[in-house]
Structure 1
Amino acid sequence: MSRVAIIAGAGRLPAELAAALGGNPLICAPKGSVPEGLAVDLAFHIERLAPFLRHLVDEGVEVVSFAGPVHRMALDPALFDPETATFVPRLLAAMQGGDDATLRVVIALFEEYGLSVQGLATLAPALLAAEGVLGARTPGSAESTDSARGAEILQALSPVDVGQGCVVAARLCLAVEALYGTDAMLAQLASCRDTREPRKGGVFVKRAKAGQDLRVDLPAIGPATIEAARAARLTGICLQAGQVVILDRAETLARADAAGIALWAVP
């Protein structure tokens, strides 16, 4: 098998991908990114991306996989090497188009150095949600209706690159995930439920954006998502099959069952 380099962002996903791959993947992380439970072999500066890419090739790496979120950071002009500096106009133009556009340019740069960028669906499909009921409780008809409404909302928002999740109760949209992510959305919803109707119930819907390159930045849930959903008094979580990562799967499912939250995945 070709040697794989994992470009590791924050959280648990890089370690779970490394475990699923086995062997000896090269763990790389941008300066400032700290993957959980995983030692980094090579930290690199974004401003010196070209030398880093050449180093991967010299190390015999043929396949690269991105895992975990990498938050935008300020770039230091003094650190740019001449070759990486030539990438800047492409990157800046892409960043004006949002995260998806930026990631497409980053993937193209890796491929220009002969590196194959592959996603979890290829390298570790067991980490993704399979279609069907995942927990102990089957969703009710109202929850299924709310999940379908949530999918419609996310489909409509995809062209403007807003987020990958929303909450729907009684067909009403209670919250939409934006730049600050799932945890912030669910925490804000929890703070409203004592004073606004509906005060309980609803489904958190998590899906990839339409047209999203599924090799990078896949949506994910984990144990913390279940706790946040419980605090927000939700009764269901609906995922997109084959396109959402379930971190720490056994613990996530156990917490959903303990909370009485239906957890399922649809096409």
Structure 2
Amino acid sequence: MSKPDQRPRKLGIAAGGGVLPLKLAEAARAEGRDVFIVGIKGAAGSSIEAWPHGWVRVGAMGRFLRLFKEAGCEDIVFIGPMMRPRLRDIVPDFQGALLLPGFIKRLKAGDDALLRGVVEFLERNGLTIVPAESILTSLLASEGLVTRLAPDAAHEADIDIGIRAALALGAQDIGQGAVVRDGRIIALEDVKGTDAMLARVAAEHPGDPVGRSGVLVKLPKPAQDRRVDLPTIGSRTVERAAAAGLAGIAIEAGGAIIADREELAARANKLGLFVVAFPPSRVEALA
């Protein structure tokens, strides 16, 4: 009698920008999975072309599904940053046109509503959405300090304010981050993302060039599907926070992805910033 097929399920990666789609592909291959990457045009980089891949424009939902199905993918991961599309940038195919009225409604509601629509469409068509950290376990932030420096009492007070601000922002499905300095909210993330928010802080609230102050706080939105679009930080986030004069970055343990932990820690230590992951219980206490 032949043994049942123990072949690992083929992984499809819906790729936004940055290095995470490639890191995930490498981790999946290391555990014996075949991988197929679908790059979102305007977000994913050309480096995905080193892997079996296809490209899809925003709105081409029929092609998006077909690429994964024809490649034999069973599990799908969404990973890598992608800007919320403008309505004028959505160029639907036939399937996308059928879905467009509902997607426009979701687009107006916010990022999470739009992503839920995409996830529901794929799941209705037989694909399984899995979180990135189920494959690349080192991605998920664990509780505690990532860096040598730690927040002081003033920073901890700013973190609490930032948690409340990020929760309120996330409840409106607008963004996941806030910047707080000396007890005052000085920036909230919008559809342009964290990098744009930190650039605004650097331009409008640069802080003391000698003594750093202020904290970037990032949290998942209260109602978001945590399989997709968890807050992500990497070395570039640290560099932009430093350019804005901030003292550190605070994220929720188990609720954020660290793109390149060792590199991030080394960069933050060199620039004199702290990075800390606080427990979910802290969020629950402040909600």
Task: Write the deviation string for residues 24-55 of structure 1: whole angstroms up to 9, x where unpaired.
Answer: 31011133333364326111244442244244
C-alpha distance 194-139 of structure 1, shift in aligned 2 (>3 A): closer
C-alpha distance 36-221 of structure 1, shift in aligned 2 (>3 A): farther
Q: Say whether 1:247 aligns with 2:247.
A: no
Task: Write the deviation string for residues 165-220 of structure 1: whole angstroms up to 9, x where unpaired.
Answer: 11112221121111222122112212234689xx8411111111111111212211
Distance in 2 separating the partners of 1:47 and 1:145: 43
Specify which of 57, 61, 86 is matched with residue 98 of structure 2.
86
Distance in 2 separating the partners of 1:76 and 1:47: 5
| Structure-2 residue corresponding to 1:13 | 20
Cα drift, residue 163 of structure 1: 1.2
Task: Write the deviation string for residues 8-32 of structure 1: whole angstroms up to 9, x where unpaired.
Answer: 1111221121122224310111333
Tell me the amino acid that sits aligned with residue 13 of structure 1: L
Specify which of 30, 36, 39 is matched with residue 29 of structure 1.
39
Distance in 2 separating the partners of 1:124 and 1:194: 36
Q: Say whether 1:151 aligns with 2:163.
A: yes
Contact 1:12 1:36 in 2 (8 A): no
Distance in 2 separating the partners of 1:116 and 1:195: 46
Contact 2:60 2:91 in 1 (8 A): no
Contact 1:11 1:36 in 2 (8 A): no
Q: Secondary structure at the match of 2:48?
A: coil
Contact 2:111 2:174 in 1 (8 A): no
Tell me the amino acid that sits aligned with residue 29 of structure 1: G
Cα drift, residue 262 of structure 1: 1.3
Specify which of 183, 186, 191 is matched with residue 195 of structure 2.
183
Distance in 1 separating the partners of 2:60 and 2:190: 30
Identical-pair percentage? 36
Tell me the amino acid that sits aligned with residue 4 of structure 1: L
Distance in 2 separating the partners of 1:5 and 1:57: 9
| Structure-1 residue corresponding to 2:145 | 133
Distance in 2 separating the partners of 1:125 and 1:189: 32
Deviates more, 1:240-249 or 1:127-136: 240-249
Specify which of 116, 120, 125 is matched with residue 128 of structure 2.
116
- Structure 2's unaligned 5+ residue stretches are 1-7, 280-287
Distance in 2 separating the partners of 1:255 and 1:235: 13
User: How does the TM-score come out when normalised to structure 2?
Assistant: 0.84
Distance in 2 separating the partners of 1:32 and 1:128: 26
Q: Secondary structure at the match of 2:117?
A: helix
Tell me the amino acid that sits aligned with residue 14 of structure 1: P
Distance in 2 separating the partners of 1:195 and 1:54: 50
Tell me the amino acid that sits aligned with residue 75 of structure 1: I
| Structure-1 residue corresponding to 2:238 | 226
Tell me the amino acid that sits aligned with residue 233 of structure 1: G
> Aligned residues, how many?
264
User: How does the TM-score come out when normalised to structure 1?
Assistant: 0.90
Distance in 1 separating the partners of 2:215 and 2:206: 18
- Structure 1's unaligned 5+ residue stretches are none
Measured on the aligned residues, the alpha-carbon RMSD in Å equals: 2.3
Contact 2:180 2:215 in 1 (8 A): yes
Q: Secondary structure at the match of 1:108?
A: helix
Contact 2:215 2:247 in 1 (8 A): yes
C-alpha distance 36-256 of structure 1, shift in aligned 2 (>3 A): farther
Specify which of 178, 185, 196 is matched with residue 173 of structure 1.
185
Tell me the amino acid that sits aligned with residue 159 of structure 1: A
